[in-house]
Amino acid sequence: MSVTSSDLASHRFVAGLTQSQLDRLAAIASSIELTAGSRLFDEGGQASSLWLVRAGRIALDLDVPGRDRLIVETLGPGDELGLSWLLPPAQWQFGAVAQVGVSAFQLSSAAVTGLCEADHELGYELTRRLLGTAIGRLQAARIRILDLYAAPSRIAGGSS
């Protein structure tokens, strides 16, 4: 389903872009609806889309031999899904599945790259925003590595 610039403007990823930039992004975006359990991609597949999640929840997951499939992270309204297309080899590092019904804007990575190549100002803006997404996920992953909740809590039990 086609997308207008006013539809797209509701997503925080594009907040602050000019009307012209929004128009060009909206022209390459489509609106999709996914039912619970729908798989968007598998680990190792060709990374070729960026999704801006409007509603619902998507799990990034990974098959681990001998164990159940593990959820790496979940993404929800306002989040972006799909960064692996930015750099070679443009291959998904995780899988992605809709945990519940999902509504999202989908943008072809080739079309986004084309817009960025044609307009470096827009390219800079989008790259900066996607870098912000990557930094946020890196910081979150580092915090999770600390395993803060495993340490003896001094909040309500003390180490005594």
Binding-site size for another protein (CB under 8 A) equals 36
* Paired sense of beta strands 70-75 and 58-62, if any: antiparallel
Binding part of the chain for another protein, among 15-23, 60-68, 86-94, 119-127 by CB under 8 A, reads 60-68
Name the residue with tokens 């979940």.
Answer: 74
Residue that has been written with the tokens 């800079």 in this structure: 124
Q: Which stretch binds another protein (CB under 8 A): 1-9, 23-31, 104-112, 143-151?
A: 143-151
Q: Which stretch binds another protein (CB under 8 A): 25-33, 84-92, 121-129, 145-153?
A: 145-153
The yes or no reply on residue 157 touching another protein (CB under 8 A) is yes
> Interface with another protein includes 9 (CB under 8 A)?
no
Q: What is the nearest approach in angstroms of another protein to the Cβ of residue 4?
A: 22
Could you say which of 59, 81, 104, 115 contacts another protein (CB under 8 A)?
59
- Per CB under 8 A, which of residues 11..30 are in contact with another protein? 12
List, as one string, the DSSP characters of 74-129: EE-TT-EE--GGGSTT-B-SSEEEESS-EEEEEEEHHHHHHHHHH-HHHHHHHHHH
Q: List the beta bridge partners of residue 32.
A: 104
Binding another protein by CB under 8 A: which of 7, 33, 73, 125?
73
- Residue among 65, 89, 128, 156 that touches another protein (CB under 8 A): 156
Could you give the C-alpha distances from 111 to 30, 50, 106, 153, in angstroms and in order? 12, 10, 11, 49
